[in-house]
Structures are given as C-alpha cells and as structure tokens.
A and B are shown apart, each in its own frame.
Chain A
Amino acid sequence: MPVFKTPFNGYSVKFSPFYENRLAVATAQNFGILGNGRVHVLSLPPSPGAPVAEIAAYDTADAVYDIAWSESHDSILVAAVADGSVKVYDSNLPPASNPLRSLHEHSREVHSVDYNPTRRDSFLTASWDDSVKLWTVDRPASIRTFKEHAYCVYAAAWNPRHADVFASASGDCTVRVWDVREPGSTMIIPAHDFEVLYTDWNKYDDCILATASVDKTIRVWDVRSFRVPVTVLNGHSYAVRKVKFSPHRGSLMVSCSYDMAVCLWDYMVEDALIGRYDHHTEFAVGVDMSVLVEGLLASTGWDELVYVWQHGTDPRAP
C-alpha cells in the first residue's frame, strides 16, 4: 500500500471528488503549535508498490489544519490556515501563481473547511474565534457569519441532502444544526460532556449525524429526537479526532483518534467496531473515505505519514 512521508506533521487528508487517485494533505510544522504549513496534492500510483507522486505542494506561513476540494472545479482546493486565513489554490496553475486567494476574516485559527456537496458553490469554515463563516470562491468576503457557540468551533459539516443545512461541533460541548436561511441555529444538541471535535452527517439518512469527542466516544444522533443518542460507540482509548460516514454504506463510519488508531464502525450492529488499524505511530489526526472508490481509506497523523489502503488490507503492507 502506498505511503507518503510529509516533512511536517499531518493534520488532514481528503480524496478528490473528481479523480480517484488524487488526494490532498494538510500538514503543519512542529505539530501545529508554531511553525509553517504545507499543502500537498498527491497522486496515487497505478501499482501499489510504486511511490506516491506529489503533483504540487504549497507552503504557508502558518500551520494548515484542514483542506477541502472544490466540488465544482476539479483542481481547486481550499485550505484552513492557523493564522486565520482561508487560502484557495489551483493545482493546475504553477506554484508561482498560487494561492489564488487569501481570505482573511477570522480572528483566530481556522480549524476546518467543508465544501457543499449539493450546491457545489459554497464552503464553510469553522474557527477558534467561535464562529462559522460561509463563503464562495469567487467572492472576496464571506457571505454569512454564524456566531453562537461559546467556544472554539472545531468542525462544520454540510448535510448531504439538504443544501442549506449544516452542523457545527464546538468546544462548548454542543453541536448546533443551522440553516443558512435562518439567522441563528435551529437546533442545539448537548452532545457530550466534553469538547466535541468533529461531526459528520449520515449520507444515506439525512437526519443522522455522528459526533466525535474528547471523551473518547463517538455518538450517533437523530435530529428528530436529539435528547438521547441513537448509540454511543466506545473503543478508542483517547480523544476521537474525526469521524466520517461512508459515502457508500449507510451505517459505516471511520474514525481516527489520539490513540493512534483508525477504526471502522457500523453503528446499526450490536458489536459496532468492525475494523481497527494501528498503523500510525503518533496521533492519527486525519482520515477520509473516498467518494469515488468504495472502501478506499486514507489517513494521516503526527508521525508525518499518509497511508492509503483498501478496507480489509494492511495499510503497511508493501
């Protein structure tokens, strides 16, 4: 299975929605505490033994915490940078012409960026300044700002079916559901007793969302009855950093955690943990499931490695 060594600590990895063999990696120097950042655009080789090719790499002054591919343009990516800026890159242009845009409105680190998969024209950024902002690539200023959380917002995720609905996960221990047409949040879910680090919607049931928290659990919620979670998934021994629903199977999820493991879950089954990968030797901080290739997983972590493997295989196998 191909492995790519990044010079900096990995923070996030995303498959391209246009090319099966392409992915982007967000990395940060010095674990993201203080240092530069780099965005890598990688291309998987035709055979697993061949090395991963780097199509492009962009250096940033500060750490890059997250990366997202445009859903409407095959070569555009958006990076969430720790200095509060949002940078737009075009991997078809030479490095000297990049970045295309640098949008600076957040007053603190931008922790997450998510592109709208249904409208394809807008994206959200979640920041430690307690707000979420809505942008389009062609406008220099944000369209909306959603400020209600009492603490850092760690993630924002679009609903896969309703183009105007999204959820945000925050360090104030709540998850809020928003509608961009409404001025404030439409629902407040007190999801955990500790910080909620990530949230994602079920692609096949638009009322289900999952949350990953510092309390080591992943909880699955139904917005129609949000007082009690649908299920609580235990299995990680440290904070869960990300959880993502599969684009192909309705109840399948992948998660990565500070216990260095990437786990696969099926929350509809009694014994929900159906796979565990311990290939990382430091915190596993980024994970993604390919939309174009069923079962293809990618992960990255503070051990400066990016793994891409098919579910069921060993990520470290040559």
Chain B
Amino acid sequence: MATPSTDVKTQNPATAEPTNEADQTAAAEPTKPASLPSVFVNSEPIRPEQVENAVKFLSHPKVRGSPVMYRRSFLEKKGLTKEEIDEAFLRVPDSSPTVQAATINQDAQTKTVSNAQTQAPVQAQQPAAAAPAGVISRTISQPRFHWSHAIYAIGILAVSGAGTAVIFKNAVVPRLKSWIRKIASEDENGVAQKTDSKPSVAEEAAAAAKAAADAAAQVAKVSQEMMNTNIEEKRYFRNLTDMLDVQLREMRAMSFSIRKLEEQNNMGALPSYNQDYRVSSSKQQPYANGKAEFDSLSGRSSSPPAPAEPSVPPHPKSYMEIMAMVQRGEKPPNVKDIDDSPPNPHQPISNSRVDPRSKPWQSGQAPNSSGPYQLNGDSDQGNGDPSIPWWQRKNVRITEVENEEDSKVGQYYSSGAPEQPARSSWVPPQPPPIAMAEAAEAIRRPKPAVQKEQQSSDDQSVAEPSDELQRITKISETGGAALNTTNGIASETSPSEIQEEQEQNY
C-alpha cells in the first residue's frame, strides 16, 4: 500500500549510513534534517511472502472467529510490519463481522454435506436448509444460525438413520434367510426346505434367546464385581484421608509451636520477615492459588533455571497468603483507607530553585558544576577520604569483578591501561583546565575532520561497532581514564568534560 512515507523508506536502506553521519554533522539539537526520524521508522519494503502467509492465516475459519486485535497481535509477534498486516487485511475477502455470517453459511453447507449418510434425504434437505439458512444469515447473528442448523442436522440424522434401518431390514434379513436355506439344503435332500426353514428359524430364535440370557447373566456378574471393587476402593480411600488428616494435624501443631518459639525469640525487635518465610515455608503446604506450577516454596535458592520456558519464581510465603486472601475476597488487615487526593488541585506549581543540568551524553557543560555537594575536593566532608563524598569514590579494584581479558572494559573504571600512552597522541595537548580549548577546537574544525583524525590516529582495535558514535564513545572513555590517572581524583570533572566535548555529535 502506497503511503506517503514509502519514498523515505525506499531511500532509507541505501542512505542509512550517510544519514547517520549527516545527523552527527548537523547543527543544533532541536532542528533535525527531515530524513532523521526515518531511522525510527520501518524502512523495509513489503515482503510478499509474509503477506501471503498472513492472508492464509486470516482466511482460516478459526481465525475469523477471533477478535481483530488478537489477529493483529499474532501477526505482529511473527514480525510483520504494519504495512504488511494492513495489506493482508485488505486482501482477505472480508474480516468484518457482518460478512462472517455469510462465510459461516458456506461452512454450514459443507457441514451438512459431510454429515449426511445417505445422499437422497440430504439432497432433499439441503436446498431447504440452504434457503432458510441463507435468509437467516443476513438477518440473524451467528449463534441462532447455528442452533437452527443443529436442529436441521439432527432431523436429517434421524431420518437417515431410520431409512437405513428400514433398508437394512428389508435387504439384509432376506439374504440371511436365503443363506440359511442354502446351508440346510446342502445337508438334506432339498425337498422340505420350506418346512425346515420355519423350525430352523424357531431354533435360531431359541438359541439367540439362550445366548442373550447367558450374556445377561455375565453382565450381572461383572456389575456385581465392579460394585465390590468400588466398595473396596472407598474403604481404602477413607483410610487414606484419615491418615492424611492425622498428618495435617501433626504438621499444624508443629508449625504452631515453631511460631511460638519464634515469637519468643523476636520480641521487641523488628520482625524478621525473611526468617519467617524460610522457616515456615518448608513446614506448611502451599496454599491453593491460581499458580498451579508453583512447586518450589522451600527450595528457593537451589531451584535451577528452566532451559527455555520461563519458570515461575518462588514467591515469599506471605505473598501466597495475601493472594489467597484476595482470591477469597478478603481485604488484608493492614490496609488503611487513605485519602490521597490533592488538597488544592489548582495549587500553582512553583518555579524550580535549581537550573536543570545537561546530561552526560548531551553537549554542553559538565553535569557536576553546580549543586550543594561539591565534588572537586573543596568540601570538608570529614569522612576520612581527603576530598570527595563516599559515593564519588571510584573503586579501582573493579577489575577483579570484571573480566580482565578485555582491556577496554577494564578501562572504564580502572586507572591503568597499556594503550593509554599511544592514545594520548590525540588527547588535546592543553592541560585539562583549558578543557574549553577542546571545545573550541571541535567547533573550529569541521566535524568529519575531527572524526577522521580520531579514527586515523587511533590504533586501538575497536570491536564491532559500525556506528562512529560508538567508536568515539570508546575513544573518549579511554581518554578519560587516561586523564584520570594523570590528574588524580581531584579533577574528575575534567575527564567527563572532555568526554562530552568529544562526544559532541549533533
């Protein structure tokens, strides 16, 4: 389906890379080139095979009975784009509810054909069924149509059954009789066949009656045996439930006594909810709730992860209690009625006392420039560390936690890295206090030139990122780490400033 954005889409695959570069070289943040938003728009052309699959899916009778939203959601999960889904909906003859009745009419007709056992009565009925069905489908909604059709089907079945029974009696029984006569005539002289046929029929009837009586006797015996076994099963079951009741009582008594002991231990202090959970969870049976697959109450820490399907994590015991209460319709006891409505809905919103700071990833000043807490070593925190609050302290030992194979990762936080001297070649020659010169350089030189310089002089084998922004991010981060070592902790603002200057990509 042609939409206004298809032009952009066809351009986009070819121009994705240059568009990104164009983004980075563009001027200010708010005004963007027209092609920029297309990065967030699906640029793929419509895939015909996907549309065909979707059409098949939508044409399926079962799918037609489902809400439109579920059909769309299913196709989206399969990876179809909006355009492909729309196209499929258009191609399918109809997906609106009014036409569904007509298609069901067709289904009903096929059903009547398949249900018929003999063709004659069905063919007589079918036009009759089709005509009222056709009329009904346009006026009456789906369920009623089904009911009337069901009645028709039952009638057809009854008639056909009766017909076949009659035909069977008329056709098969004479054959049987003639077969018996043949056998009788083979044994005797074929003179008194007629006279023999009658007594043979009588004998057969007597034999059949005997067989029926025997069968009935057997059936009676079997049913008696079944009764006996049922009674025995009931006895066993009663014993089992009695034993279970006894066990339950014992368990309850034990848990009660344990709780008492715990209460005695925890008097006065904050209740140790966690201990409660762990101890009592292993004693009590899980409460009935909607989560049938819940089976690992007691072994929380040792439950292995399921390979592919998400497993239900073990919930704390009181969570199960509350779920059970809610399902019973009770309100948990600690819930209060709170009025949280605004006391003055028209209260004017005051002005901010502090100006917003720019983000580390945005261009502009350093984020740490203002604020009540100093970071540059001027503060007198008195916390043992010479100049910075405790949360500013960067842990040099983080390389233990991280993998040390990749030095790039280590350079995020650690202070030493082998490549730094090599990289310092592109680090601005001015010392950090003149960090603004970096900005001045960046502004003076055109952006691609700056990037090319960085890329050409950088010997570090940067990994896969094709995006230049990521490359620059890496370079700036390692450059920041380098500066961190040379200038010490006091000038923490400057590496971040320089990072920002280098990450200026508009």
* Residues in A lying within 8 Å of B, measured CB to CB: 5, 17-21, 29-31, 33-36, 44, 46-48, 58-61, 70-76, 81, 87, 90, 92, 96-102, 117-118, 120, 137-138, 140, 150-151, 159-165, 172-174, 177, 179, 181, 184-188, 190, 193-194, 203-207, 214-216, 223-224, 226-227, 237-239, 247-252, 258-259, 266, 268-271, 274-275, 281-283, 290-296, 302-304, 308, 310-313
Provide the residues of chain A in CB contact with B467, threshold 8 Å.
205, 207
In angstroms, Cα B359 to Cα A308, docked, is: 21
Provide the residues of chain B in CB contact with A216, threshold 8 Å.
305, 310
Knowing A100-B349, A187-B41, say if A313 contacts B305 (CB, 8 Å). Answer: no
Provide the residues of chain B in CB contact with A30, threshold 8 Å.
322, 332, 334-335
B421 at the interface (CB under 8 A from A): no
B265 at the interface (CB under 8 A from A): no
In angstroms, Cα B81 to Cα A247, docked, is: 31
Contact across chains for B311 and A224 when beta carbons are under 8 A apart: no
In angstroms, Cα B313 to Cα A214, docked, is: 11
B432 at the interface (CB under 8 A from A): no
In angstroms, Cα B177 to Cα A74, docked, is: 105
In angstroms, Cα B226 to Cα A43, docked, is: 76
Provide the residues of chain A in CB contact with B319, threshold 8 Å.
31, 33, 302
Contact across chains for A35 and B395 when beta carbons are under 8 A apart: no
> A87 touches which one: B339, B340, B375 (CB < 8 A)?
B340
Contact across chains for B335 and A35 when beta carbons are under 8 A apart: yes
Further 11 A-B residue pairs, CB within 8 A, beyond A172-B73, A238-B310, A266-B412: A21-B389, A48-B391, A73-B352, A118-B362, A150-B70, A162-B40, A165-B37, A193-B77, A205-B470, A248-B360, A268-B408
Q: A-B pairs with the 8 shortest C-beta distances?
A: A312-B395, A150-B73, A312-B398, A237-B305, A250-B473, A238-B313, A47-B383, A73-B352
Determine how close the nearest CB of chain B comes to the CB of A81; give it in whole angstroms: 8
> B359 touches which one: A164, A203, A270, A281 (CB < 8 A)?
A203
In angstroms, Cα B359 to Cα A117, docked, is: 8
> A21 touches which one: B78, B373, B397 (CB < 8 A)?
B373
Contact across chains for A239 and B310 when beta carbons are under 8 A apart: yes
Provide the residues of chain A in CB contact with B331, threshold 8 Å.
34
Determine how close the nearest CB of chain A comes to the CB of B357; give it in whole angstroms: 7
Q: Which chain B residue lies CB-closest to A235?
A: B305
Q: Which chain A residue lies CB-closest to B400?
A: A312
Contact across chains for A303 and B373 when beta carbons are under 8 A apart: no
* Residues in B lying within 8 Å of A, measured CB to CB: 16, 20, 29-30, 32, 36-37, 39-43, 69-70, 72-73, 76-79, 81-82, 270, 273-274, 303-305, 309-311, 313, 316, 318-319, 322-323, 326, 331-332, 334-345, 347, 349-354, 356-357, 359-362, 367-368, 371-373, 375, 381-384, 389-395, 397-398, 401-403, 405-406, 408-409, 412-413, 463-465, 467, 469-470, 473-474, 477, 496, 503
In angstroms, Cα B272 to Cα A5, docked, is: 12
A-B contact pairs, 29 of them (CB 8 A): A17-B356, A20-B368, A34-B332, A36-B335, A46-B382, A61-B339, A70-B352, A97-B343, A98-B342, A99-B340, A100-B342, A117-B359, A160-B359, A160-B362, A174-B73, A188-B42, A204-B470, A205-B469, A224-B39, A237-B303, A238-B305, A247-B359, A268-B408, A268-B463, A271-B405, A281-B274, A282-B316, A310-B391, A312-B413
Contact across chains for B389 and A190 when beta carbons are under 8 A apart: no
In angstroms, Cα B36 to Cα A181, docked, is: 14
Q: Which chain A residue lies CB-closest to B462?
A: A268
Contact across chains for A250 and B326 when beta carbons are under 8 A apart: no
Knowing A293-B392, A312-B413, say if A34 contacts B335 (CB, 8 Å). Answer: yes
Contact across chains for A60 and B310 when beta carbons are under 8 A apart: no
Q: Which chain B residue lies CB-closest to A45?
A: B390
In angstroms, Cα B76 to Cα A173, docked, is: 9
Knowing A163-B30, A179-B40, say if A295 contacts B403 (CB, 8 Å). Answer: no
> A20 touches which one: B82, B322, B373, B395 (CB < 8 A)?
B373
In angstroms, Cα B41 to Cα A177, docked, is: 8
In angstroms, Cα B262 to Cα A113, docked, is: 41
In angstroms, Cα B334 to Cα A74, docked, is: 34
Contact across chains for A194 and B39 when beta carbons are under 8 A apart: no
In angstroms, Cα B273 to Cα A249, docked, is: 38
How many A-B pairs with Cβ below 8 Å?
292
Provide the residues of chain B in CB contact with A274, threshold 8 Å.
401-403, 409
Provide the residues of chain B in CB contact with A310, threshold 8 Å.
390-395
Q: Which chain B residue lies CB-closest to A302?
A: B316
Determine how close the nearest CB of chain A comes to the CB of B179; give it in whole angstroms: 65
Knowing A20-B371, A173-B77, say if A165 contacts B391 (CB, 8 Å). Answer: no
Provide the residues of chain B in CB contact with A98, threshold 8 Å.
342-343
Contact across chains for A44 and B40 when beta carbons are under 8 A apart: no
> B76 touches which one: A72, A97, A174 (CB < 8 A)?
A174
In angstroms, Cα B20 to Cα A196, docked, is: 28
Determine how close the nearest CB of chain A comes to the CB of B367; give it in whole angstroms: 6
Interface centre among B29, B316, B326, B339 (most CB of A within 10 A): B316
Contact across chains for B42 and A275 when beta carbons are under 8 A apart: no
Knowing A19-B373, A118-B29, say if A46 contacts B389 (CB, 8 Å). Answer: yes
In angstroms, Cα B352 to Cα A18, docked, is: 10
Contact across chains for A174 and B77 when beta carbons are under 8 A apart: yes
In angstroms, Cα B368 to Cα A121, docked, is: 22
Q: Which chain B residue lies CB-closest to A72?
A: B356
Provide the residues of chain A in CB contact with B406, threshold 8 Å.
269-271
Determine how close the nearest CB of chain A comes to the CB of B399; give it in whole angstroms: 9
In angstroms, Cα B308 to Cα A239, docked, is: 12
Provide the residues of chain B in CB contact with A35, threshold 8 Å.
332, 334-335
Contact across chains for A250 and B470 when beta carbons are under 8 A apart: yes
Determine how close the nearest CB of chain B comes to the CB of A40; give it in whole angstroms: 15
> B352 touches which one: A72, A118, A226 (CB < 8 A)?
A72
Provide the residues of chain A in CB contact with B395, threshold 8 Å.
295, 310-313
Provide the residues of chain B in CB contact with A227, threshold 8 Å.
79
Determine how close the nearest CB of chain B comes to the CB of A193; give it in whole angstroms: 8
Determine how close the nearest CB of chain A comes to the CB of B494; give it in whole angstroms: 13
Provide the residues of chain B in CB contact with A258, threshold 8 Å.
313
Provide the residues of chain A in CB contact with B353, threshold 8 Å.
74-75, 92
Contact across chains for B356 and A204 when beta carbons are under 8 A apart: no
Contact across chains for A92 and B361 when beta carbons are under 8 A apart: no
Contact across chains for B354 and A172 when beta carbons are under 8 A apart: no
